[in-house]
Amino acid sequence: MANAPTKPTTPVKKESSSASGAFASLTIPICIVVAICIFIFILGDGSHYKGGDPANEPVDIYGTVHKGGVIVPLIMSYLLMVITFSVERMVVINKAAGTGSVEAFVKRIQSFLNSGNIDAASAECDKQKGSVANVIKSGLKKYREMELEPNLDVDQKTLAIQKDIEEATALEMPMLEQNLTIIATLVSVGTLTGLLGTVIGMIGAFATLAASGAPNQAELSSHISEALINTALGIGTSAISIVMYNIFTSKIDKLTYAIDETGFSIVQTFAASHKNQR
């Protein structure tokens, strides 16, 4: 007896997972290097300071941010990571949704199921493409196989269809959540790094106040400015991370719900149309 064919999606998913991991491994150090270069060569340019000397007071926002100290390029690298991974996740999730509206696709599939036109529903999956359509098409294929299966009763066939949909979902959906953990981590890391810069700046400020004699007002204000700049950058980066993370989790939940809804319709349609075979 010939061996059952393996699902063709498995090697593709492994390859996609490896590509996503390689993307993350390259993106993180590149973002750090780019942030350091921006900090040194753009923000630290003499044109942003009085007299063209970074030792003097800044004359614009670029010089002010540069005065935030060595923690600034680290927080900037976090911001670049959030932007890069957000763009990457947006592309992946939009590709998973397919070529058209997911809601309209689900309604068309349900309409075909209600009319018993399984071939049209499968053809609709080919038009839609994406992860959602792949899962639904797998369920429809199993639907056809179970119609020709003589050795199982309706309950067993229904369970087989449901299991096939769950397995297809397990292959497709985890790819959508890759790299989201990085964005979620940056929510906390951005704030904590900003607070670290704040503490460093305040230490310098109190050290200036503790100096004998009258404190240097310019040095004191510089340290306080450093503390506040790091606070602002850290909070801003975390805020963007939270927003993007919630947007992507919401989109993934929407796709998961579409799969669950359509999968339930497939199972119920099969059970209803074959109830006399019990």
pLDDT attached to residue 174: 83
Element (H, E) at 252: helix 217-273
Give mean pLDDT, residues 228-243: 96
Q: How far is CA 253 from the centre of its chain?
A: 12
C-alpha neighbours within 13 Å on the C-beta side of residue 103:
2
Average pLDDT along the chain: 88
pLDDT attached to residue 122: 93
What's the pLDDT tens digit per position in 1-23? 344 444 444 445 555 667 777 88
Give mean pLDDT, residues 33-55: 93
| Residues comprising the chain, all counted | 278
Task: Kindly give the residue spans of alpha helices, DSSP state H, lying in 61-173.
Answer: 61-66, 71-97, 102-114, 118-128, 130-147, 154-172
pLDDT attached to residue 167: 93
Give mean pLDDT, residues 138-160: 91
pLDDT attached to residue 210: 82
- Which one-letter amino acid corresponds to residue 45? D
What secondary structure letter does DSSP report for 42? I
Give mean pLDDT, residues 40-53: 92
- What are the residue ranges spanned by the domains of the chain? 24-277
Reported confidence tier of residue 276, pLDDT bands at 50, 70, 90: low
